[in-house]
Amino acid sequence: MNKKTEKSRIAYNKIAFEYDTSKEGQYTKFHIKELSNIIYLTEDDIILDVACGNGTLLGELSKKTKIHANGIDLSENMIHAAKMRYPNIKFDVKPCCPLEWSDESIDIITVCCAFHHFEDPQGFVNECRRVLKNNGTIYIAEPNFGVILRFFANKFWFPFSKSGDVRVYSQKELVKFFSYSGFKTVHTYRKDKGLFLKAKK
């Protein structure tokens, strides 16, 4: 496990059982709500939530229709909390890259406020394209930092972050990962404190 990834695991293990009331948990509420509103589901879709935390997003999506929900996270305590909250959803301690799923086996992948923790973002995007079915979709929610805040975060804050933050991206940078990997359509938009991406294979 790489240094930043290990920092993320340790940091989120510490706050796993109080995550909803933590600063991080409060911040991601908006992003989870927006994702649950925009994600289009059909019955029996196979969903993979990467860096699922305590399972809140999958819990919300499961209310919309019957789905096969899977969540993975590198934090053992987060997965334990998720299993306690949502016993009918499958959760596992697994890395984001490589994804331990077979080719063209997933309908929808979600990542909420975690992409900026990934040490190999292009590798992760390539893995998403591999495991998604034809016309499968990935949805990502990230912090919506302006140019100046993004510069200071990446230059002065994230290099010393104890939470495993790697880099926060602009819209153009996010799109580039998915275009390079060969996704057919990539759309992004900003809303309040969130930057959202939808890419279709």
Report pLDDT for 174. Answer: 97
Query: Which residue has tokens 């805040």?
Result: 149
Fold annotation for 3-200: Rossmann fold (3.40.50)
Could you give the CA distance from residue 177 to residue 18 in angstroms, rounded to a whole number?
33
Report pLDDT for 90. Answer: 98
Report pLDDT for 153. Answer: 95
Report pLDDT for 73. Answer: 98
Q: How confident is the prediction along the chain (201 residues), in pLDDT tens digits per residue?
A: 689 999 999 999 999 999 999 999 999 999 999 999 999 999 999 999 999 999 999 999 999 999 999 999 999 999 999 999 999 999 999 999 999 999 999 999 999 999 999 999 999 999 999 999 999 999 999 999 999 999 999 999 999 999 999 999 999 999 999 999 999 999 999 999 999 999 999
Q: In this structure, are residues 141 and 34 in contact, taking their beta carbons and an 8 Å threshold?
A: yes
List the chain domain ranges: 3-200
Give per-residue pLDDT as tens, 97-128: 999 999 999 999 999 999 999 999 999 999 99
Report pLDDT for 2. Answer: 86
Could you give the CA distance from residue 146 to residue 49 in angstroms, rounded to a whole number?
27
Report pLDDT for 152. Answer: 97
Query: Which stretches within the chain are classed as H helix?
Result: 3-15, 23-38, 56-62, 76-85, 121-131, 147-152, 171-181
Residue-wise DSSP of 79-97: HHHHHHH-TTSEEEE--SS
Q: Which amino acid is at 100?
A: E
Q: In this structure, are residues 186 and 179 in contact, taking their beta carbons and an 8 Å threshold?
A: yes
Report pLDDT for 183. Answer: 98
Could you give the CA distance from residue 70 to residue 49 in angstroms, rounded to a whole number?
6
Annotate 84-116 with b (16+ C-beta within 10 A) or e (fewer).
Answer: eebeebebeebbbbebebeeeebbbbbbbbbbb
